[in-house]
Amino acid sequence: MKKYILLAALGLGIWGCTSKKEETPAPAPTSGIVLRIATKVAGADALLNRTNIITPTQDTVQLRALAFFISNVELQDATGATVWRETDSYHLAQYTADSAFVNLRLKNVPNNLSFNRIKFGIGVDSVANGSFSYVGKGDLTLGNGMDWDWATGWKFVLIEGIRRGPSGRGSVIYHLGFNRKYRSRTIELANPVVTAGRITANFTLNLDGIFSAPNLIPVGRINDEMGNSTTADSLADNFSSPQTLSWQGFTSNR
């Protein structure tokens, strides 16, 4: 009998410790969506400092730095109504010399959501771009080379490289910023997708499109765009166009 009492006492001890855990509500199940953006030139993987891009003006460009913001990601139904919107949705896609893709992980996507469209921005929206209160949200961090400043805002897209060809030798520097360069894209899915487990949304960034799709950028003449010019508008259009940033479909990692 006493043995049983002792066991009961032990049980009480264990119960006393585990009861708090039981009181904690289980987190809502979430899905993992990864935006995978692979860099390509003429269909082949493209690496910084290695891959050559041949422009329509027959110049050869080799990039040494490439970075841009993907922001305000939301999932929509067939009517365009938002079914889920990421909070603090600012992702920096920053490429390294040894990888031809980046993975951007969306946070806290609920399971069992059906959606027909993915909408996102390229750059930083005007509200966040003009406000210090957004500094620190998502990847809007200082010191990452996409500097935020009260006067200049964030760099939305950073492209740097070297060029040679009919236009001579030199550099390519496109730092696209200012509110007017923010671009939005909506991907229409052929069939609705239901969030479950981990899925990857695949994009290809065709680097040759920066100079040609749809606007021709004569890199010899326009090799340095930092301001708010119409040429910079054309570059922003090219960078966000379906030809340059092309949708490749979902893959499931389940």
Partner 1 sequence: MAYNPSSRTTILPLPLYLVVAALLWVSSCTSKDTAQVAPVDEYNPTPVTIKSGVRGIADPVIPADNPTTKEGIELGRFLFYDPKLSADGTISCASCHKLDKGMADDQVKSIGIRGQRTLRNSMAIVNLAWVNRFFWDGRSRTLEEQSLHPIQDPLEMANTLPQMVATLQAEAMYPPLFYKAFGTRTITSDLVAKALAQFERSIVSFNSRYDRYLNGLDSALTNTEIEGLALFATHPDPFSGRNGIRGANCGDCHSVGLFQGRTNGFQGFLNNGVQPQISDLGLMNVTQDANDMGKMRVVSLRNIALTAPYMHDGSIPTLEAVMDHYNSPDLFSRPKVDFLITEAVNQRFGTSLGLTAAEKAKVVAFMRALTDTSFVNNPAFKNPLGSR
Q: Residues interacting with partner 1, by CB under 8 A?
A: 2-3, 5-6, 8-10, 12-14, 16-17, 49, 64-65, 67, 94-98, 132, 135-136, 140-152, 160, 162, 170-171, 173, 175, 223-224, 226-229
Nearer to partner 1, 3 or 254 (CB): 3
CA separation for the pair 172, 228 (Å, rounded): 17
Nearer to partner 1, 117 or 163 (CB): 163
* Residue 138 beta carbon to partner 1: minimum distance, rounded to whole angstroms: 10
* Residue 86 beta carbon to partner 1: minimum distance, rounded to whole angstroms: 18
Tokens of 245: 């940033």
162, with CB counted inside 10 A (0-12, 13-18, 19+), is middle
Tokens of 106: 């969306």
Q: Which residue carries 């990039």 as its tokens?
A: 63
Q: Which residue carries 């390509």 as its tokens?
A: 40
How far CA 162 is from CA of 66, 97, 169, 190, 240, in Å, comes to 13, 15, 8, 39, 22
E strand map for the chain: 30-41, 44-45, 53-54, 60-76, 82-85, 90-94, 101-110, 114-122, 155-164, 170-177, 183-194, 198-206, 224-225, 245-252
Question: Cβ(169)–Cβ(225) under 8 Å?
Answer: no
* Residue 149 beta carbon to partner 1: minimum distance, rounded to whole angstroms: 4
* Residue 45 beta carbon to partner 1: minimum distance, rounded to whole angstroms: 17
Nearer to partner 1, 99 or 243 (CB): 99
Nearer to partner 1, 140 or 235 (CB): 140
**Closest C-alpha to 83, from 112, 53, 44, 121:** 112
Nearer to partner 1, 170 or 218 (CB): 170
Nearer to partner 1, 63 or 106 (CB): 63
Nearer to partner 1, 128 or 213 (CB): 128
* Residue 206 beta carbon to partner 1: minimum distance, rounded to whole angstroms: 22
**Closest C-alpha to 245, from 191, 205, 186, 207:** 205
* Residue 146 beta carbon to partner 1: minimum distance, rounded to whole angstroms: 8
Question: For residue 159, how far is the Cα from the chain centroid?
Answer: 15
* Residue 213 beta carbon to partner 1: minimum distance, rounded to whole angstroms: 24
